[in-house]
């Protein structure tokens, strides 16, 4: 082949090479575009206008049936049956023996159990605790209070499963609520029911007292459930089941767990609970409606002082009748239960900073807490 022929062949090969490279690059670009288009098309078809964060929040980890099952498996071993024998006298001074059955839950591995006062009664002759592993052990009453309807008892055991105490302050209406207990006696022990938190800060009349700031739930609660735990969807105790309104359908009530935590902590650390008091008799908004008309008291927030005990820490700090306590230690206070929760975390002799209003003026004072045989002065005027 001559020189001109060689030049033509080389030129043709260069053209073919450039063409192949261009075709390859073009194919890659087209492929990338097609892949991206395919992905975008699939996303649009499978998840039109979807917020990915919301999709994650409703994943199967929060599926209600799975959650209830998991909570039951986790917490049921901590729930106990509490059987009480009480001796009383009739009008002819004859002794009468009565028994009662309720529920409770273990809060320490060495046998401290939280339940209701009305389950263990004022002066029980004998308390027997039934564990899930089949053991029945005699218990000792450590502390109880009729107004709060709380009690702490103890059995002689170690290595027990423990219920985790949650935060009742963070509850919201509509969230899941799970009750575990012994409705109608030990025949139906550790029954699990589920519902929602129906309302918060409910107060109801029970005998001569008012049960304050309760959690309302439609989770089924019956006689024998008293003292058992009310739980959230993580298995944390948010309340202690205590009341049911028989005239209403699905209206059960539980004591918020936060009021019990300082009591339990002090008993665990010191072997006993010594309640503190400011020396005041007061009302919150919910309780005021039981005793006064709207014309008498117009309380939109805070705690209204009705009476101050002479020589009490409150009197020495300058608190007077008709003052409205709004904050204690910079924590907003709108219920008597919240007030008790704060001061029960203190020991006698310690002080709290109290912010209050009187005649439209805001003041601050320091109140030294006193010890009391009972709890803070009764809320009734």
Catalytic residues: 118, 149, 226
Instruction: Show the DSSP H helices in 47-123 as ranges.
Output: 52-57, 64-75, 117-120
Q: Which residues contact 125 (CB under 8 A, 6 or more apart)?
A: 85, 86, 87, 97
| Contact (CB, 8 A) for 276 and 343 | yes
| Contact (CB, 8 A) for 272 and 262 | no
d(CA 133, CA 150): 25
d(CA 361, CA 25): 80
d(CA 114, CA 105): 6
* E strand or H helix that includes residue 35: helix 3-46
Joined together, the tokens standing for residue 371 give 């010890």
| Contact (CB, 8 A) for 137 and 131 | yes
């Amino acid at each position: 082949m001559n020189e001109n022929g060689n030049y033509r062949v080389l030129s043709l090969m260069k053209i073919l090479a450039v063409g192949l490279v261009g075709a390859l690059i073009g194919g890659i670009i087209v492929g990338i575009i097609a892949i991206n288009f395919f992905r975008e098309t699939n996303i649009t078809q499978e998840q039109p206008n979807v917020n990915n964060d919301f999709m994650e929040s409703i994943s199967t980890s929060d599926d209600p049936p799975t959650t209830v099952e998991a909570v039951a498996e986790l917490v049921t071993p901590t729930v106990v049956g509490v059987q009480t024998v009480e001796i009383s006298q009739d009008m002819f001074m004859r002794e009468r023996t009565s028994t009662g059955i309720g529920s409770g839950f273990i809060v320490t591995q060495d046998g401290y159990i939280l339940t209701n006062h009305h389950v263990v009664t004022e002066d029980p002759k004998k308390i027997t605790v039934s564990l899930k592993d089949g053991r029945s052990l005699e218990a000792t009453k450590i502390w109880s209070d009729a107004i709060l309807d709380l009690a702490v008892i103890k059995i002689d055991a170690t290595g027990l499963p423990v219920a985790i105490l949650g935060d009742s302050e963070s509850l919201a209406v509509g969230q899941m609520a799970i009750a575990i207990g012994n409705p109608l006696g030990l025949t139906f022990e550790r029954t699990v029911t589920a519902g929602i938190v129906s309302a918060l800060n409910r107060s109801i009349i029970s005998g001569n007292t008012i049960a304050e700031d309760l959690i309302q739930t439609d989770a089924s609660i019956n006689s024998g459930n008293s003292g058992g735990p009310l739980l959230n969807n993580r298995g944390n105790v948010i309340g202690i089941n205590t009341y049911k309104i028989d005239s209403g359908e699905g209206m059960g009530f539980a004591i918020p767990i936060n009021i019990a935590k300082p009591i339990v902590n002090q008993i665990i650390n010191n072997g006993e609970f010594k309640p503190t008091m400011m020396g005041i008799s007061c009302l919150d908004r919910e309780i005021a409606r039981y005793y006064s008309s709207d014309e008498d008291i117009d309380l939109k927030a805070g705690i209204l002082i009705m009476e101050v005990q002479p020589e009490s820490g409150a009197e020495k700090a300058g608190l007077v009748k008709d003052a409205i306590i709004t904050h204690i230690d910079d924590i907003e206070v709108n219920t008597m239960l919240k007030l008790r929760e704060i001061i029960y975390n203190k020991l006698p002799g310690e002080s709290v900073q109290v912010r209050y209003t009187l005649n439209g003026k805001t003041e601050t004072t320091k109140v030294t807490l006193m010890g009391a045989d009972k709890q803070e002065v009764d809320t009734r005027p």
